[in-house]
């Protein structure tokens, strides 16, 4: 029997679909937000929260929990939806996204939202925060792991590479980065804005174990996380090839939905495509 059986895959696919429906509704109701990068990140986030991460929604600050940092903070609707579905806070609260007084800020606020491990939004800082968490785990001889999702555009940031250099120098094998390689950033295709290739070679040159996968294929996602956990003496980066806007036809590969909410018609069509009730 394969390690990641059909039942598990089907459950993760179901959770991912729920997350996609939530985040489209949340962004539609908020009237602003970032659907494209949230949808591309959804499958990896679903795999993390419904299989990989050892977390306790009843005790979000449990010291031995695995940590997830969303360095591309603008994709937080996907993160919030996963946290709510996992039981960190009530699902109804998702509809307060970006509204005054809400615990669900437009970009992640670790002081407000249960389960959010780092405040992010200004790009390029999350991997460094993850290094700090991973160093603390090593100092305390704790065995929990640290996962950081880095946006494709964050490969532009100098600090991402400062962090990449330091993580391998400090031999942080308890740290796993995931690049949400959706090939897009706000202004357009990454290859037109700031060319990143050969990206895998860059990470390799910075001392990382590099795994390249289809970021929408749960078998590949789970296999990569297993592999990352077995790597010793160096950090692992999973370059997850994804599709911006994945799951909603007119958002797929559309740069226009980087940071724009759907209108009513678009919302209804998106919900139909995602098998939900508008």
Q: For residues 15 and 79, what is the distance between their CA atoms, to the nearest angstrom?
A: 12
Select from 53, 163, 251, 270 the one that contacts another protein (CB under 8 A): 163
Which stretches does DSSP call E strand in 104-227? 146-151, 175-181, 184-185, 188-189, 209-214
Among 77, 130, 245, 262, binds another protein (CB under 8 A): 130
Q: Is residue 155 near another protein by the rule CB under 8 A?
A: no
Out of 44, 129, 178, 228, point to the residue binding another protein (CB under 8 A). 129
Cα-only R_g, the chain? 17
User: Does 128 contact another protein by CB under 8 A?
Assistant: yes
d(CA 216, CA 229): 20
Choose, by CB under 8 A, the member of 23, 45, 55, 137 that binds another protein.
137
Three-class secondary structure of residue 242 per DSSP: coil
**159 in contact with another protein (CB under 8 A):** yes
| Three-state DSSP state, 106 | coil
CB of 74 to another protein, least distance (A): 13
- Binding residues for another protein restricted to 60-89, rule: CB under 8 A: 63
How far is it, in rounded angstroms, from Cα 172 to Cα 192? Answer: 33
141 part of the interface to another protein, by CB under 8 A: no
C-alpha–C-alpha distance, residues 75 and 259, integer Å:
10
Q: Which two tokens stand for residue 14?
A: 């179901």
170 touching another protein, by CB under 8 A: yes
Tell me: does residue 174 bind another protein (CB under 8 A). no
The residues binding another protein (CB under 8 A) are: 63, 109-111, 117-122, 124-126, 128-137, 139-140, 158-159, 162-163, 165-166, 170
């Amino acid at each position: 029997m394969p390690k990641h059986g059909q039942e598990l895959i089907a459950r993760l696919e179901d959770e991912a679909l729920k997350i996609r429906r939530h985040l489209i509704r949340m962004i539609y109701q908020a009237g602003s937000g970032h659907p494209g990068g949230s949808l591309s990140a959804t499958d990896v986030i679903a795999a993390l929260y419904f299989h990989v991460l050892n977390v306790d929604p009843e005790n979000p600050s449990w010291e031995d929990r695995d940590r997830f940092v969303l360095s591309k903070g603008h994709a937080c609707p996907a993160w919030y939806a996963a946290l709510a579905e996992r039981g960190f806070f009530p699902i109804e609260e998702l509809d307060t996204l970006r509204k005054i007084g809400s615990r669900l800020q437009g970009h992640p606020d670790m002081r407000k939202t249960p389960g959010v491990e780092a405040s992010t939004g200004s790009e390029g800082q999350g991997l460094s925060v993850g290094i700090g968490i991973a160093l603390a785990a090593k100092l305390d001889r704790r065995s929990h792991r640290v996962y950081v999702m880095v946006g494709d555009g964050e490969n532009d940031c100098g600090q991402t590479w400062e962090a990449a250099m330091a993580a391998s120098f400090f031999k942080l094998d308890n740290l796993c980065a995931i690049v949400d390689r959706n090939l897009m950033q706000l202004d357009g295709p990454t290859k037109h804005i700031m060319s990143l290739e050969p990206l895998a070679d860059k990470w390799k040159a910075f001392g990382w174990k590099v795994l390249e996968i289809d970021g929408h294929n749960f078998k590949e996602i789970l296999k990569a996380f297993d592999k990352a956990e077995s790597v010793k003496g160096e950090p692992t980066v999973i370059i997850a090839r994804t599709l911006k806007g994945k799951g909603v036809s007119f958002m797929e590969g559309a740069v226009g939905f980087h940071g724009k909410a759907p209108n009513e018609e678009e919302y209804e069509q998106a919900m139909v495509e995602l098998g939900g009730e508008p």
